[in-house]
Structure 1
Amino acid sequence: MAQSATAETQNNKSIVRVNASDATSFVESVLVGNGVSPSNASIVAKRLVAADLRGVDTHGINRIPSYISRIRHGVLNPRADPVLHQITPVVAQVDGHNGFGFPAAHLGMTRAISMAQDFGIGMVSIKRSNHFGMSAWLVQQALDAGMMSLVFTNSSPALPVWGGREKLMGVSPIACGAPAGREKPFILDMAPSVAARGKVYKALRRGEKIPGDWALDGEGRPTDDPAAALEGVMLPMGGPKGSALAIMMDVFSGVLSGSAFAGGVANPYDPSRPADVGHFLVAIKPDLFMGLEEFKERMDYLYRRVLGSEKMTGVERIYFPGEIEQITNEERLRDGIPYVESEVEALNKEAALVGVENLKTME
């Protein structure tokens, strides 16, 4: 494995940088080597790298070992292709057939956009799916087509309902977006917990501590140990508000779709059974009630008002939702994506098992 030309460290761990195109081609090769079709491998790889580019490292290519483990244990079908069923002119459902969640969600949003272009709105429910990574890539897919969007998914239990102590609801992200004109678009992608559970897995993988207000251990005590946190529960943001948002995700993604719900979704790191994740996607044409240019001008005005509002003491700049990630994306496209060396080693082990060359790092 080539070393980075500069001696970079992150939390006392050496890191290397990888060009986005090299990361994409590497992941595609590893997936194809594990039975995924080239077209589906391309969809998965591009979306995982998109997460790393945006700084959402918890949902990037470091998910590959856990995905491959599920393939090897026979609980994720690498050869499955999602199938679309049209329900009404503006409603469709995708059956993921227990394949990767990325192709199922991509097909779903593609169809939602098409329906919205014809009828103003398109809704797609997805069943029998798997983890689809960072929700923001689906928002971006809609933005690229000039559409507003809502993106819901459920996930494996990690969060107690308010007043409870057992894992019941998933740390299921809610995401949405809207295009703008000259300014940056609106992109919201957030978990209903204090922090996404993927950040706990990332800390465990890197041997790091977590903030003490993220989670409770198995005895219900606050913990900064990621391993103990994974034995316990994540904490909802805003108390009952975060809990209610997690339940909402289960209603729209699990109950409505016919997928698992109420704690029935399997953990993506659990290779014992299919995940049976559900998703719910909506695309909306932004010029339904006014001209498109007027809509974009109004979004631009909102952006400028938000950034130009009076700042609290100690704050140098206010950001629009999704803007920090967009800035990170630009930086990492230019400078490369940083990975801890141990993460690269884990990826290279997967590559070796299917005869794929190591991940190329920047020099």
Structure 2
Amino acid sequence: MENVTESAINVNAAALEAFAQKLLLAAGFDGLSSRTAAEGLVQASLRGVDSHGIRLLPHYVKALKAGRLTPQPEFKFEQTGPTTGIINADHALGFPAGQTAIDKAMEIAAQQGMAAVTVTNSSHCGMLAYYTIQAAKKGFFALAVTNTTPRLIPTGSKKAFLGTNPFCYAFPLQNEEPLCYDAATTQITGNKIQLYRQLGLALPDGVAADKDGNITTDAKLAELLVPFGDYKGFGIALLVDILCGALCGMPNGDQVSAMYGADISGKRLLGQFYLVFDINRFRPLQAFAQELQEEMDRLRALPSVDGRAIMAPGDPEKLISAERATSGIPLEPEIFASLQSVADELNVTGINEIILN
């Protein structure tokens, strides 16, 4: 969960999603792009992944106006084998491209048992859990990865070579929302640093470095990111880069485009990779989900050294989601003001109606 100040404005999740969709439609995005982006952004905010939440909407509108994004993309899908396919995303928002990819992968996996789908000519696709959880709820295992802006410094280097390159998987559970691991291969994400910078907060120690490779807690100076587990995190980041770069035929390593910068008119040319398999092809889904549920229950029941709860992957997000579904999603005044600015620019009314009384 991100830092939340006392001045945050609590908003209703459903109302926020409807309002976000109105903004995106008014900006010129088509129905699929607007629906999936609004849903994906609000789900991230609801789960406490504020760095990938609604705060990104103004950036997407700005990128559309600059010519980076295609408002009404024409996706081209090529099934290259019984279990493989490629989607050309036509420089769309990453959300509709990712939704199309996970839908195609589930469709193929339902017939063939498994599927791998790459996405080319894509852009930022938000929180990867948005896609994998959808598949897990339908009885599939799902893996999703994407390459990102080069910010990660390899061991011993003071120049970035890879992105945060998140790695996400999800499995169905018997009695609750799917088990979902969704994490960057760095100790902090670039978007989270943007959030800390926007809110004027200090960074945790040891997660970021300045342009010369010196560790810093000043979000305004932070330009480079430290991988988790040193070379181990770097190795996983490299795997993601290979799947989304060389395998997709998209730019790789330090040649991947930047999300932010003075000029955002250039296309991102990002790649994404989705892997899905049908659990029923290995054993009955119900038996699998029950056994995994029992394993996670045993994990949570382990004794704690300091009284804190032992959690399975995704448990913090589940707790925050349940809390925010009732108390609302907290938006910092700066983020609320940025949405208000977009609404004013697009002549969209109703922002005050999303606020919880």
- Which TM bucket (shorter chain)? over 0.9
CA distance in 1, matches of 2:323, 2:38: 20
Q: Aligned-pair distance for 1:200?
A: 0.5
**In the aligned structure 2, how far is the partner of 1:228 from the partner of 1:41?**
34
**Aligned residue among 132, 156, 170 for 1:163:** 156
* Unpaired segments ≥5 residues, structure 2: none
Q: Secondary structure at the match of 1:332?
A: helix
Structure-1 separation of matches of 2:176 and 2:25: 39
The aligned counterpart of 1:224 is 217
Contact map agreement 2:139 2:285 (CA 8 A) in 1: no
Which of 203, 216, 227 lines up with 1:210 in the alignment? 203
Q: What is the alpha-carbon distance in structure 2 between the residues aligned to residue 316 and residue 168 of structure 1?
A: 37
Q: Name the counterpart of 2:226.
A: 235
- Worse overlay, 77-86 or 66-75: 77-86
Gaps of 5+ in 1: 1-8
Stretch moving more, 61-70 or 97-106: 61-70
180-189 or 47-56: bigger deviation: 180-189
**1:139-288 mapped onto 2 (5 Å cutoff):** 139-230=132-223, 233-270=224-261, 271-288=264-281
Cα distance, 1:162 vs structure 2: 2.3
Report the CA distance between 1:183 and its aligned residue. 4.7
Report if the CA contact (8 A) 2:150-2:254 is conserved. yes
The residue identity in structure 2 corresponding to 1:131 is H
Aligned AA (1:174): F
Write the distance in 2 (CA, Å) between the matches of 1:177 and 1:357. 37
What RMSD, in angstroms, separates the aligned Cα atoms of the two structures? 1.5
Partner secondary structure for residue 229 of structure 1: coil
Q: Secondary structure at the match of 2:174?
A: coil
Aligned match of 1:291: 284
Give the 3 Å change call, closer, same or farther, for CA 243–107 of structure 1 in structure 2. same
Once the 2 structures are TM-superposed, how far is the Cα of residue 358 of structure 1 from its aligned partner? Answer: 4.7
Match of 2:113 in 1: 120
Q: Secondary structure at the match of 1:194?
A: coil
1:240-284 Cα distance to aligned partner (Å, 9 max, x none): 011111111110111101112122222222314111110000111
Displacement of 1:190: 0.6
**Where do 1:1-363 residues align within 5 Å?**
10-11=4-5, 14-230=7-223, 233-270=224-261, 271-311=264-304, 313-359=305-351, 360-363=354-357
Deviation at 1:32, TM superposition (A): 1.0
Equivalent residues of 2:137, 2:178 under 8 A apart: no
Letter in 1 for 2:270: V
How far did residue 25 of structure 1 move?
Answer: 1.3
Q: 1:85 to 1:168 in 2, by over 3 A?
A: same
Query: How far apart, CA to CA, are the structure 2 residues paired with 1:30 and 1:152?
Result: 28
Q: Secondary structure at the match of 1:157?
A: coil
TM-score (norm 2): 0.95
Q: Per the alignment, in what secondary structure is the counterpart of residue 84 of structure 1?
A: strand
1: CA distance, partners of 2:178 / 2:303: 21
> Which shifted more, 80-89 or 171-180?
80-89
Where 1:338 maps in the other structure, the secondary structure is strand
Equivalent residues of 1:183, 1:303 under 8 A apart: no
